[in-house]
Structures are given as C-alpha cells and as structure tokens.
Structure 1
Amino acid sequence: MASNGGRMARNLVVSAAMIGFALVACVSDASAQQQERAGRPGEIVVTLLGTGGPEPGTARFGPATLIQAGGLNLLFDAGRGVTVRLYQLGIPAGKGIDAVFLTHYHSDHVEGLPDLWMTGYMFGPFGFRSRPLRLFGPSDGTGSGGAARIAKGLTEAFADDARIRMADEKIPAVATQIDAHDFQADRVVFEEAGVKVTAFAVNHGDLIKPSVGYRVDYGAKSVTLSGDTKFDENLIKFATGTDLLIHEVFATSAKLAELPYMKPVADHHTSPEQAGEVFSRVKPKLAAYTHVILLGVSQDVLVSRTKGTYAAPFQVGDDLMRFEIGDSVASRDGIRSFADIPIRCAGTNP
C-alpha cells in the first residue's frame, strides 16, 4: 500500500509539473501568436468573435468583434462566449485586451462581460491582467446609467471572488478593478497609438437609448460597426468611405412578420433590403453581416434579399471570420457549425 501511495504521489507531482510547463508554454506562445495576428504595420485586422443575438446557440455566439490596429486589441461588445472565442485565438482575456467598447446595454451585448473581466484577472494563459479593465460605453445623459454603473454593479456583485483570489492566489488588487468611461455620441471617444475610435448615435428604437455604432480609423484604413440599429442616416454619414462596414441584419418570413409580438422586434433592426441600401450609399470596399438573426428564412434568402438593393460583393459573417484591411480588404472564413469549433490551448493556430 505504501508503495502504491508513493507511486500515486509521484504521478501527481509529475502531472502537476507537466500542467505547469504547459501553462508557461501557452502563455509564451499566446503572446507570439497574438502579435502574429495583429497584421502587418499599417493594417487593421478584424475578427468576428460572435455573430449571433440573444439565442443561446452553439454556432453563433453573442455579439463581439475584435479589432487589432497599432498594436492594440480593442473589443467591441462582449456577448455570450466572448472569452471562449478569444481563448481559441490564443488571445488572453486579461493582458490581451486593451479596451472594451459597448454599443448599448441589451443583455446579449454585455452578458459575456463578467466572464471576460473575472477570467482576465486570474492566472494562466487566459488572464494575467495587471491593470484595470478599461470599459467604454455611451451615457444616457443623466449620470445614472452607462459603463460606470455596470462597473460598479460588477465589482459589488462579485466582490467575494476578487477578495478570495487576491488573498489566496495573490492576484493584484488593481487587476480586479474596472476603469469605466461614459461618453456622449458623435465624437472621438478613444485615441491611442495612432488608432482613433469615433462613437456615433444610431436608432435602435425610442426606448433603447443610448445606442451607438463605432468607426475605427488607423492611418488611411477604417472599419465601421453599426451596432444594433434600424435604417439610420447618421450611420450612413459616419460610415461613408469606410473600407469595411460590418452591419447587423434581421430577416423574418412573411408569416412570422404578421405575429403581433414580432413587429416591435423587427422595427428595432435592419432588414436585408434596408441593409443593402445602406451598403449602396456607404460604398465600402467590403460589407459584412454580423448579429445575424434569421427567423423562418434561410441564409440563401438573406443573400437574395440583400442583392435586391446591393449589387457589390458582401459577406455573411460567421464566428471567427477574419478581415485584413490593407490596400484591399481580404477575408478568411470562420466556423460554420459547432463541429468546426477548434478547442485547444490558447496560443495555437485556430
């Protein structure tokens, strides 16, 4: 029995050492892969981390988009599963994210934020944040809402986790903090390392305010994110001339559209025909859909309806679809089913 116990103990020590070496290797490799994925100097790299909506599906996670430019990793929205998608790319949720920008405060755009924040201050290849999480969001103008209130609520709700990890795992207190910035729309809200982020108001419905889209400029390159919106002239104004336009879409069948509860929802979003009109007026080098909501219609129908008002090429985004904005805009396919999702150590190629 003593001999068996000794062997078990030695096996546990060896296993623990192997895990430790793997973690160190992952952390080191993740840093290298993160730099590799940032693109060539002067480029913007955009990755659709989540292209779905509120539905808790497995093929499309909640809304989230990663924009890499000027050596920065900027995250726009933090829907369900965002931390998982970052881990698949080898980008830590902690030290790998420089700032988070929220378009509005619907649950499907923020429900991954607690995971991103807390996972980010843990140790391991997915964490190691050494400063507060920077969080930007639109203000309602009253001083009572916005990113600051979310930050206060999160730190209060999860105070026990932060307290325990600081005491038990020696997590630095600063890593558990959130540096929140509320802003008014239609202005530059972030400027760093040559990267400029402009927030502009969009119309997501009379009761869903504030709500914004974002334009990111880096040198002569740009990408615009619609956020959740109806057809909106202000979006067209700020997006005009952008290299890549990433826009939401909501398509339903004629039968479902007749349901009383469906009309208010549809009225908060952009139909394929309306999106095609937006694309035609903005004239991006490439347009792509995210926040893809299809109710009673297929993706082929979505494409066909869009082509009725837009003749140029466009993409229907999938999770982990990537765009590289250089002299032109190149895209790489994402995942198309749950079976395609790569589950592996952070830092390995997806």
Structure 2
Amino acid sequence: MTLLKRALFAILALALVLAGLAAIFQTRLATALYERRVDRQMSLDRIGTLPDGLHLAFCGTGSPLPDPSRAPSCAVVIAGDRLFVVDSGAGSVGNLLLMGIPAGEIEAVLLTHFHSDHIGGLGDLALQRWIGTGHTDPLPVMGPAGVDDIIAGFNQAYARDATYRTGHHGEAIAPPSGFGMIALPFETTGFEQTAPVKLLENGGLTIWAVAVDHDPAGPAVAYRFDYQGRSLVMSGDLVADNSPGFQALAAASDLLVVEALQPRLLDIINEGAQRRGNDRLDTIMTDIRDYHTTPEQAAAAAQMAQARALVLNHVVPAVPTRSLNAAFLGEAGTAFSGPIRVAEDGMVVSLPAGDDSVSFQSWR
C-alpha cells in the first residue's frame, strides 16, 4: 500500500471516528435540550402567576378557513382560580395545554353556538379534563337549546375510546364515572330582545348570556363575565348591528371581544376565485358576509358600549402575520377611541382586581 493510500485510509478512519463522536454529541445535546423542554413545560404555572382578577386566554382565534397561525375558536376565562372555556374548536386543545393551562381544573364549557369550528375540539377537551386529575364527574357544558344533542353525539363517539383509557390505565387514572360531558341547556329569548339570562352567581363571579343574531346558525349567544369589579364580554359569531341584547350586555365592559370579518380582504379571495372559475369558493366567500361583523362595526359597538378595550376574534379571512393586521382592521381605529387588538393564539388579556388597567401578554 502506498503512503498516499495509507494517508487516505487514516483520514477516512479519522473522519468516521469524528462523525461518530459528533453523532454521540448531537444525541446527548438533543436529549439534554428535550429534558429541559419537558421540565419547563411540566413546571409551568401560568395561572399561579396571574394577579387576582379576570383574565382571558385565547387558545383558538381563527375560523373554518385555513390559517397556519390560528386554531378555530376557543378561549379560557380565568376568574381568580376558576377556569371556564368558551367554545372549543378542533386543534385548540393542544394550544390550551401548550399554554400551560391545566385542563383538569376546567369548571365548565360555555358554547356560543353549534357551528363545527366552535365545537370540534369538545371530545379532546373532555378527555384531557377527565384524565388530567382523574375527575369522577363529566365535564359540564352549558349552551342554548340543542346542546343536549351535541353532547350526546360526542359522548357516543368517544364511548369506546373511554373503555380503552380505563382498561389501559385503570380506574384510579381514568374513573369511568368521569368520562364525557353533561349538557346544561338554558333558554334565551329571541335575539331581538335585550334581556340576558343569569347562568351562574357565586364566589363573586356572575355569568350572563344573551341571544344574538347569527341566523340560520341559531340559537346563538354572547356571554358576559363579571368578577371583582371587572368585566369581559365575548360575542361568539353574530351580526352586531342586529343584536340589541349584545349591545346591552357589552355596556361599560372592561374588555369586549367581538368576532370580525373583513369584506375588503374577502373581495380579493372572490376575485381570485372568479379568475380561476371556482364558483363554489366564490359563492361561499359571498355567503359568509351576511351573518358576521366587520372590524368597523365591532369598533362602533365598542364605542357605543364605552368599553375600555376591544379584541377582534374569529379572524376572517386568515391574517397569518401581524403585517396584515392593518389591512384587516380597515377603518376600525377611527370608530373606537380605546385600544384595539387582533386576537392571536396564545394572547392573554388581564383585568386585575382593584384597578381599571387592561394588559396584554403572550403565553406562546
């Protein structure tokens, strides 16, 4: 073997050794980073870091339209140490858990209406709440007339899965009595009326509901939470200008959360669909305009209510980067004198007890 060949073999052998050492190092580094990530996630106590008051954590701020940055509708209301979920769109439960919100501590779910993007995550949410602390009671789900059928369907769909969980983990982890959900329907007047329904009043917390116009997807409601002198109102989907009960419910609220659809951006989608001969998409993008609220209308409603802050939620169409927020907001800033934010998954709005401040942070 020539000297050159020996040198080449030596270099190759050294390269293989170095590659092996690099692989070992990368594996150990990756494992160490994973350990740190798991420890950080498991030690999260986001709820414990919040001051007493009323807080709203968004775990889904999108719609049925595909949006890489947003899951469909879901928000967690935190009143002191009590947790309530408003709507549960598919994929939002993962966000909820990644945000460090303990699913096992959820007291109840409140549904605004029964469109698929507001209920698709219910089965997963109930499962996480059940297994999270070994609940022996089903997850209460409040909603207007028809919620019984929705919950019965989810319970049936997940019934076999429940037997797997208990069979695998045992009754101490997955007690059969804690499986699923229980429907708690309430009655509302028509959306033409202004009288709200009181759903809960204890521990300093009051929850109200009022019917709103989202025809034909009715009944639909909005909710108001009052706690320690602070208040927030969540609209669900609605035509704000045709929902007098919502206007009354929103009066003097600290935080008003309203779904919003920007027609100017939908025009761009319509034009693209027309150029490509996609009549179906063109029709759908036209149809959805008549039972939603524009950012400008939401801002006008907030101004009329004298709300302290406005968050635009259920963003239609998708605005996956903040650079598009200005186009989505349109002229909303001229209609409302307070702060306006476009909701994002992971956004948390805090209303501390004892003052009138409104602050924003991200749990992503």
**CA displacement at 1:134 relative to structure 2:** 1.1
* Letter of the 1:134 counterpart: P
Name which of 212, 225, 243 aligns with 2:254: 243
Name which of 93, 96, 105 aligns with 1:86: 96
Match of 1:341 in 2: none
* Letter of the 2:334 counterpart: G
Alignment CA distance shift 1:106-1:226 (3 Å): same
**CA displacement at 1:25 relative to structure 2:** 7.2
3-state secondary structure, aligned to 1:152: helix
**CA displacement at 1:290 relative to structure 2:** 0.8
Match of 1:219 in 2: 228
Where does 1:53-64 land on structure 2 (aligned, <5 Å)? 53-64=63-74
Match of 1:36 in 2: 48
Match of 1:345 in 2: none
Match of 1:156 in 2: 156
3-state secondary structure, aligned to 2:128: helix
Larger radius of gyration: 2
**CA displacement at 1:36 relative to structure 2:** 1.2
Where does 1:207-286 land on structure 2 (aligned, <5 Å)? 207-231=216-240, 232-253=243-264, 254=267, 256=269, 259-286=282-309
Alignment CA distance shift 1:158-1:277 (3 Å): same
Name which of 123, 146, 153 aligns with 1:114: 123
Match of 1:287 in 2: 310
The answer to whether the Cα contact below 8 Å between 2:60 and 2:70 also exists between their aligned partners in 1 is yes
Give 5+ residue unaligned stretches, structure 1.
1-20, 140-144, 335-348
2:322 matches 1:299: no
Where does 1:83-232 land on structure 2 (aligned, <5 Å)? 83-93=93-103, 95-122=104-131, 126=132, 128-139=134-145, 145-146=146-147, 148-170=148-170, 171-185=174-188, 186-205=196-215, 207-231=216-240, 232=243
Bigger relative contact order (CA 8 A; separation at least 6)? 1
Give 5+ residue unaligned stretches, structure 2.
1-34, 189-195, 272-281
3-state secondary structure, aligned to 1:329: coil
* Letter of the 2:76 counterpart: L
Alignment CA distance shift 1:263-1:28 (3 Å): closer
The answer to whether the Cα contact below 8 Å between 2:333 and 2:340 also exists between their aligned partners in 1 is no
The answer to whether the Cα contact below 8 Å between 1:62 and 1:109 also exists between their aligned partners in 2 is yes
- The alignment yields a C-alpha RMSD, in angstroms, of 2.7
3-state secondary structure, aligned to 2:330: helix
3-state secondary structure, aligned to 1:209: coil
* Letter of the 1:198 counterpart: W
| TM-score normalized with structure 1 length | 0.79
The answer to whether the Cα contact below 8 Å between 2:63 and 2:315 also exists between their aligned partners in 1 is yes
The answer to whether the Cα contact below 8 Å between 1:197 and 1:217 also exists between their aligned partners in 2 is yes
Q: Deviations over 1:23-45 (max 9, x none)?
A: x9789735xx15414x323x111
Alignment CA distance shift 1:266-1:237 (3 Å): same
Q: Deviations over 1:5-24 (max 9, x none)?
A: xxxxxxxxxxxxxxxx99x9
Aligned length: 302
Alignment CA distance shift 1:295-1:58 (3 Å): closer
The answer to whether the Cα contact below 8 Å between 2:66 and 2:318 also exists between their aligned partners in 1 is no
3-state secondary structure, aligned to 1:115: helix
The answer to whether the Cα contact below 8 Å between 1:252 and 1:295 also exists between their aligned partners in 2 is no
The answer to whether the Cα contact below 8 Å between 1:70 and 1:194 also exists between their aligned partners in 2 is no
Q: Deviations over 1:222-245 (max 9, x none)?
A: 000011001222211111011100
Name which of 308, 328, 336 aligns with 1:310: 336
Of stretches 83-92 and 60-69 in structure 1, the one that deviates more from structure 2 is: 83-92
| TM-score normalized with structure 2 length | 0.76
Alignment CA distance shift 1:56-1:129 (3 Å): farther
3-state secondary structure, aligned to 2:106: coil
Match of 1:142 in 2: none
